[in-house]
Amino acid sequence: MAPATCTAGYERFLRLKAPHVADFELVNDEGETPEDLLTKAKVLVIGAGGLGCEILKNLAMSGFRNIDVIDMDTIDVSNLNRQFLFRSKDVGRPKAEVAAEFIRQRSPDINIAAHYKRIQDMPEEFYLGLTLIVCGLDSVEARRWINAYVYGLAERHGFEGFKPIVDGGTEGLMGNMRVILPRHNACFECGLSMYPPKTTYPICTIANTPRLPEHCIEWASVLEWPRVFPDTKLDGDNVDHISWVVEQAAQRAASFGIAGVTFSLAQGVVKNIIPAIASTNAIIAAACVNEAFKLVTSCNPFLDNSMLYTGDSGVYFCIYPLEQVENCLVCGQKEGSLTASSESTLDELVAALKEHSAFQLKAPSLTCAGVNLYFQNPKALEEQTRPNLAKKLRDLFASGSTLTVTDPTLPTGLRVTVTFSDA
């Protein structure tokens, strides 16, 4: 337990009943107080950048005692203006490690572990050991991955795999926050269409009628680089690569009378860097950590389930319950099970999926663990997978395997677990 002087801020919220939480308990069935829950909770912070630094600081000062932080990046000079856990001597070192060292030094009673890795590289046991995840990411790709992964954990492990995600994101003076309860409310993928795809420019503009320095940078990076270096992928973190892009782009800009091609702009365009404002990160990170605090302790109602902060036209907060999307590629999938003889054929299984009253599919396509078992279309794929129809199920997959089935009658996938009756 932390010294009393440190807890004076938040303890009052944990020792008094809040008016809006009917089921708040000063001691739960397991004999734990809200403070015990807070002390035991193990929180993973994904991203130790602008949001991550704020999130870590807030968690440490709100009574959380077990924190893991993961980030695959190293510190760049340009991070120092807002990523306040880092100093110029730290440039080049892994963000997660430096951030963890800072927190450890400031609050020695906190167990903080750093992971200089990709989130995809952590084992399942690691994720199962968590209480909650707070994301401070700038990438839609990483959010999609963790969302789908955590959804799968809850599906396979029940409560033991239930890891709520508090997801923060900012762009300039705007930000958003979501509380994602896997299998209970809208998942990240449900709201994916609200995220604008990467800013791109018409390729004909880039090629022929550039008006902006960005057009010239895209010309150099998208058209010229692959032509001149067909075997090398352009690396936004490689100074030589970006310098080459700047040189090419600057020449082109000069010939079109365009000003403003700089190294940092080129890096921003190539890496799709989103402009960051320190205070917006602070607002969103603070909101994220308050939700994490409430989720863990049940002291007050938590957000249902999305918050939007618009600071670019006055100040406006919008709170809205995002609904689950029927055709969501993650949580919109339906579950089903079938029992079949291991001696029966895939053709018979397809027929069962069409005839079985629980499914009534029209033209199912089937895959199992990445193997394409049978596709109705396109013709070339149907012809290649057709021989599987005559094969026995036991020659295609093991009993208890989950098949991913798609069909025109289904909004998204159907996951059918097939058990062999003669297994």
Partner 1 sequence: MRRIWNQKKTAAEAQKTQTSESPAKLRLQKELGELAVTSDTSIEMSASNITQFTMTYRPTEGYYSGGEFRFQFDIGDGYPHEAPKVKCLQTIYHPNIDTEGHICLNILREDWKPVLNIQAVIFGLHMLFQEPNPDDPLNKDAAKLMVDDAAEFGRTVRSTMRGRRIGTVDYDHVLAEPSQGGRHY
Q: Contacts with partner 1 in 10-39 (CB under 8 A)?
A: 23, 37
| Binding-site member from 81, 243, 384, 421 for partner 1 (CB under 8 A) | 384
Name which position in 35, 71, 291, 407 contacts partner 1 (CB under 8 A): 407
Tell me, residue by residue from 285 to 324, as one string, x for binding to partner 1 by CB under 8 A and - for no binding.
Answer: ----------xx-x--------------------------
Residues that contact partner 1, how many (by CB under 8 A):
75
Q: Is 378 in the site for partner 1 (CB under 8 A)?
A: yes
**Among positive and negative, which fits the CA dihedral 254, 260, 263, 265?**
negative
Q: What is the rounded CA–CA span in Å between residue 379 and residue 376? A: 8
Q: With respect to partner 1, which residue has the nearer C-beta, 310 or 404?
A: 404
Residue 172 or 226 with smaller CB distance to partner 1:
226
Query: Which part of the chain contacts partner 1 (CB under 8 A), choosing from 5-13, 106-114, 346-354, 403-411?
Result: 403-411
Residue 202 in contact with partner 1, rule: CB under 8 A = yes
Q: Look at the block and give the residue holding tokens 């069409």.
A: 354
Verify whether residue 299 is a known catalytic residue.
no
- Closest CA relative to residue 61, chosen from 38, 34, 79: 38
Closer CB to partner 1, residue 79 or residue 385?
385
Query: Does 344 help bind partner 1 (rule: CB under 8 A)?
Result: no
Residue ranges in 153-182 that form contacts with partner 1 under rule CB under 8 A: 154-159, 161-162, 164, 181
281: which residues sit within 8 A by CB, 6+ positions away?
Answer: 50, 51, 53, 54, 82, 136, 170, 175
Provide the minimum distance between the beta carbon of 354 and partner 1 in the complex, in angstroms, as a whole number: 14
Binder to partner 1 among 10, 102, 151, 420 (CB under 8 A)?
151
Minimum CB separation of residue 49 from partner 1 in Å reads: 20
Contacts of 233 (CB under 8 A, 6+ apart): none
Question: Which one of 53, 135, 204, 368 is the catalytic residue?
Answer: 204
Interface with partner 1, residue 227, by CB under 8 A = yes
Whether residue 160 contacts residue 40, with contact meaning beta carbons closer than 8 Å, is answered with no
369 binds partner 1 (CB under 8 A): yes
Q: Which of 287, 288, 292, 330 contacts partner 1 by CB under 8 A?
A: 330
Query: Roughly how many angstroms between the first and final C-alpha of the chain, as a whole number?
Result: 53
Rounded least distance, CB 54 to partner 1, Å: 24
Question: How is residue 234 written in tokens?
Answer: 């352009």
**Minimum gap (Å) between residue 215 Cβ and partner 1:** 12
Provide the minimum distance between the beta carbon of 167 and partner 1 in the complex, in angstroms, as a whole number: 15
Q: Cβ closer to partner 1: 18 or 148?
A: 148
- Per CB under 8 A, contacts with partner 1 among 46-105 are none
Read off the amino acid at residue 203: I
335 vs 343, beta carbon nearer partner 1: 335
Give 152 or 268: the residue with its C-beta nearer to partner 1.
Answer: 152
305: cis peptide before it, omega within 30°?
yes
Nearer to partner 1, 89 or 198 (CB): 198
Nearest-approach distance from CB 387 to partner 1, in angstroms: 10
Does position 335 interact with partner 1 (CB under 8 A)? The reply is yes
**What is the closest distance, in whole angstroms, from the C-beta atom of residue 338 to partner 1 in the complex?**
13
Cβ proximity to partner 1, 94 vs 210, nearer residue: 210
Positions marked catalytic: 204
